[in-house]
Amino acid sequence: MFDTLQDRLAATFKNLRGKGKLSDADIDATAREIRIALLEADVNLAVVKEFIAAIKERAKSAEVSEALNPAQQIIKIVNEELVNILGGETRTIRFAKKPPTVIMLAGLQGAGKTTLAGKLAYWLKSEGHSPLLVAADLQRPNAVDQLKIVAQRAGVHCFAPEPGNGVGDPIQVAKASIAEAERKLYDVVIIDTAGRLGVDQALMQQAADIKAAVDPDEVLFVVDAMIGQDAVNTAQAFADGVGFDGVVLTKLDGDARGGAALSIARVIGKPIMFASSGENVKDFDVFHPDRMASRILDMGDMLTLIEQAEKNFDEEKSRKAAAKIASKGGSEFGLGDFLEQMKQVRRMGPLSKIFGMLPGMGEMKDQLSGIDEKEIDRIEAIILSMTPAERDNPKILNGSRRARIAKGSGTEVSQVNNLVDRFFDARKMMSSLANGKMPAGMPNMPGMPPMPAAKRPGRQAPKKKKGGKGVSGNPAKRNAAPIEPAAPAANPLEAFGSGFDPKQFEKNGGDFELPPELQKMFKKNQG
């Protein structure tokens, strides 16, 4: 959803790189480009004016003029101001001291409240709670049946005493749900209310009456991130007519401009608490303003990636695999181990989403969109067609074995050869990563289009001949200073700027330090 904004900001920051000092003209030009990028992303005009004013004031201060790298200071300022726009700090649900905690969902028709109710229940269940879904949307046809299906998918219970379709009193259903939760020891009640329009005073009053009847601990306003500037107007109407404590963004996987939805936190003064994308019950996350700002600036989201890895990876299996990779050049790490790790990665979600959380992936959108998930299925079929001995030691795979594996997996021998070759390259790379360094050339990942390879470092100076100096016959070369290999940057941010620049990567010889979070994860698995 934020691809256009991300691209415009990345292009703006690229123009700042290499400048030792920024003039007022540079700052004004940068602020103008950022203003255009935000307006094109449909960010609220008042928010844009406030945002640009803060950036220009801070950019012309001493923190930039006296900095060693002014361009990075501008990026830092933009990042901090983006975090402020998005709400500042992360806020989650405030649970009642005495259960049950009551959560009421409100929003427009078609905003995705019913699906969101199931996702929220699933997330609460994964956090150790016992939620109860309440079907208080008795207006929309088949809304009650839909909530029952959503509850079944989420693995939670649904309280639906009325058939709906215009039959029943939603206020009485909401009241009865509290008693039901107390009787059956549910610690969270999620009330799904009818969708309504901001101008529909009757339905707005109904939502206010439900709120007065059950006195919820949290009222969450569910908003479709794709509806544009009307998101802010509708949020204001609900804030005035019903009142709410936090915002939930849905349909973040859409291709519409989502800047208006991001303006809600600043305009209304209520935090964005959760974000939803996709139809799966797992497509639901706590909204972290700092992480969203990092994604928009193409700095990646390593913390979310690591949190998902911790949830989906078996710690004992990962520790053993890491030990195999780190020892003997990774030779003990076989295709069976690779398959097990690949299955755990797939449980984290689509590969394009996983790779998209890495820093600098904004410049590789075409490669990410070209990832073929079916290729992973073919790889799994090839590995499962091998014997245990062949998986443990792929070096024994001769021509006849590879032909048998191809026939058993329904693939071509060339595909088997390609997988084995890429596995050896990947194993070598992972062995280097286990030691905290990245090799100069990264192998292509399974299912992903070929990635641009890093160039080799600069040419070394000519070696001295025995008994004399090495002299070139070309006068231009003879008078030129010898080319020294580029030294790796002490600080990765100095080398890569706001995100990953392939040209800068090539210039530095393909070496950089791993992020601290990944280093900790590797050390933990090896220990």
pLDDT for residue 401: 92
pLDDT at res. 18: 66
Amino acid present at 179: A
Q: How many CB atoms lie within 10 A of CB 466?
A: 5
Instruction: Examine the pLDDT at 372 and tell me if it is beyond 60.
Output: yes
Judged against a pLDDT cut of 90, whether residue 118 lies above it is answered with yes
* Confidence (pLDDT) at 125: 93
User: Does the pLDDT at position 419 exceed 60?
Assistant: yes
The model carries a pTM of 0.63
Q: Identify which has the larger pLDDT, 118 or 262.
A: 118
Mean pLDDT to the nearest integer, 264-274: 84
Q: What percent of the chain has pLDDT over 90?
A: 18
Q: Which of 200-214, 374-388, 490-504 has the highest mean pLDDT?
A: 374-388
Report whether pLDDT(454) > 80: no
With a cut of 90, say whether residue 206 has pLDDT above it: no
Query: What's the first-to-final CA gap in the chain, in angstroms?
Result: 40
pLDDT recorded at residue 243 = 85
Q: What is the reported pLDDT for 488?
A: 39
Token representation of residue 451: 């990635």
Domain 301-453+488-527 has CATH 1.10.260.30: yes
Q: Which two tokens stand for residue 399?
A: 């021509």
> Which residue, 428, 407, 429, 425, is CA-closest to 416?
407
Assign 460 a pLDDT band (cuts: 50, 70, 90): very low
Q: Which pLDDT does position 153 carry in this prediction?
A: 92
Could you tell me what percent of the chain has a pLDDT over 70? Answer: 67
* Cα distance between residue 60 and residue 302, in whole Å: 31
pLDDT at 443: 47
| pLDDT band per the 50, 70, 90 thresholds, residue 218 | very high
DSSP 492: H
Mean pLDDT of 455-468: 44
User: In the prediction, which pLDDT does 234 show?
Assistant: 79
**Above 90 in pLDDT, residue 266?**
no
pLDDT for position 487: 41
pLDDT tier, 254 (very low <50, low <70, confident <90, very high otherwise): low
Residue 422 CB neighbours (<10 A): 15
Question: Any idea which of 17-21, 106-110, 229-233, 238-242 has the lowest mean pLDDT?
Answer: 17-21
Residue type, 164: G
Does the pLDDT at position 475 exceed 90? no
What are the boundaries of each domain within the chain? 3-85, 101-287, 301-453+488-527
Residue 101 has pLDDT above 90, yes or no: yes
Query: What count of Cα atoms within 13 Å lies in the side-chain half-sphere of residue 28?
Result: 3
DSSP state, residue 363:
G
CATH number for the 3-85 domain, one of 1.10.3720.10, 2.40.50.100, 1.10.3470.10, 1.20.120.140? 1.20.120.140
Across the range 165-172, mean pLDDT stands at 87
What's the mean pLDDT in 167-176? Answer: 90
Average pLDDT over the chain, rounded to whole? Answer: 75
Whole-angstrom Cα distance, residue 246 to residue 90? 11
Cα dihedral 98, 100, 101, 103 in deg (nearest 10): -160
For the residues 19-28, what does the mean pLDDT come to? 76
- Alpha-carbon gap, residue 332 to 33, rounded angstroms: 52
Question: What pLDDT, on a 0 to 100 scale, did the predictor assign at position 21?
Answer: 72
Residue 166 is predicted with a pLDDT of 79
**Average pLDDT score over residue span 362-379:** 70
Q: Predicted confidence band at 503 (pLDDT cuts at 50, 70, 90)?
A: very low
pLDDT band at 302 (very low <50, low <70, confident <90, very high): low
Which range has the top average pLDDT, 166-175, 343-352, 364-373? 166-175
- Going by pLDDT thresholds of 50, 70 and 90, the confidence category of residue 223 is confident
Phi and psi dihedrals of 76, rounded to 5?
-60, -40
What distance in Å separates the CA atoms of residue 257 and residue 261, rounded to the nearest whole number? 9
Domain 101-287 homologous superfamily, CATH: P-loop containing nucleotide triphosphate hydrolases (3.40.50.300)
Higher pLDDT, 290 or 515: 290
pLDDT single digits (tens) 69-95:
667 777 888 888 888 888 778 888 999
Task: Kindly state the average pLDDT of the residues 317-341.
Answer: 79
Q: Note whether 378 and 415 are within 8 A (CB).
A: yes
> How does residue 199 score in pLDDT terms, banded at 50, 70 and 90?
low
Mean pLDDT of 26-32: 84
Lowest mean pLDDT among 353-357, 379-383, 483-487: 483-487
Per residue in 133-151, pLDDT (tens digit) is: 999 988 888 889 999 999 9
Please check the confidence at residue 60 and state whether its pLDDT lies above 70.
yes
pLDDT of residue 465 exceeding 50: no
